[in-house]
Every structure is written in structure tokens, then in C-alpha cells.
Amino acid sequence: MNAVGTPLGRYQKMVTDAIGSRWYAYTQSKMGIINIGTLQAHFVVDRTGKIKNLKILSNSSNETFANVCLQSIMDANLPPIPDDVADTLPPEGLEYDQMSFTMYAN
């Protein structure tokens, strides 16, 4: 369990908030050319806060949406993983198996 009250939960919330704030801004700027749909991505946040091994697992929208989602992840400004959290993780860092992004019809 990774509740927000734990060090791991707080770091995960930082990651999702950083990515989410970029995603909302980027989708607003491309709203007219993004189709509805869902994208699922896999990536790892290494101990320094860098995104590694980013890949799309599935995408039911269009290429523009995929690009917005990937750019949102890559542009997230993440701090290094705190030592107390990093010590509980594999050497690669914090893995996100399936982060989902969904664009709904307005």
C-alpha cells in the first residue's frame, strides 16, 4: 500500500502531480486536434528523478495525443527520490507499470 501519508506515497503524488500539470497544459494547447481515447505508458523514475525506459503500452486515441502524453512525462521536473524511499526500491528506481491518460469528449 502506497498511501499519501507514507514517504513513497508522497513521492508518487509528486510524480503524478508534475506529470498531470504538464498534461493539462499541453492538452489545452492541442485540444482541437486530439481525439478522445486512452493511452497507457510505462516508465521508470531513476534515483536522480530522471525518466527512463518510457514506452507506450496502448493508445486508443491519435498520434497527437500520444505525443502530448509522452512529452508530459518527459518534461516533468522531478526531484531525486529521497534516500529513505530509494532504499526500499529496486536499483533501477520507481517503476510505473501503467500510467493512464484519458481524453474525454467535452
- Fold category of 7-103 in CATH: 3.30.1150
pLDDT of 87 strictly over 90: yes
Q: Domain residue spans in the chain?
A: 7-103
Which own/partner contact pairs does 83-92 have at CB distance under 8 Å and 24+ positions apart? 84/7, 85/7, 85/8, 85/11, 86/47, 88/8, 89/47, 92/44, 92/46, 92/52
* 55 in Cβ contact with 99 (< 8 Å): no
The pLDDT tens digits for 26-83 are 999 999 999 999 999 999 999 999 999 999 999 999 999 999 999 999 999 999 999 9
Mean pLDDT of 82-91: 96
pLDDT at 2 (0 to 100): 56
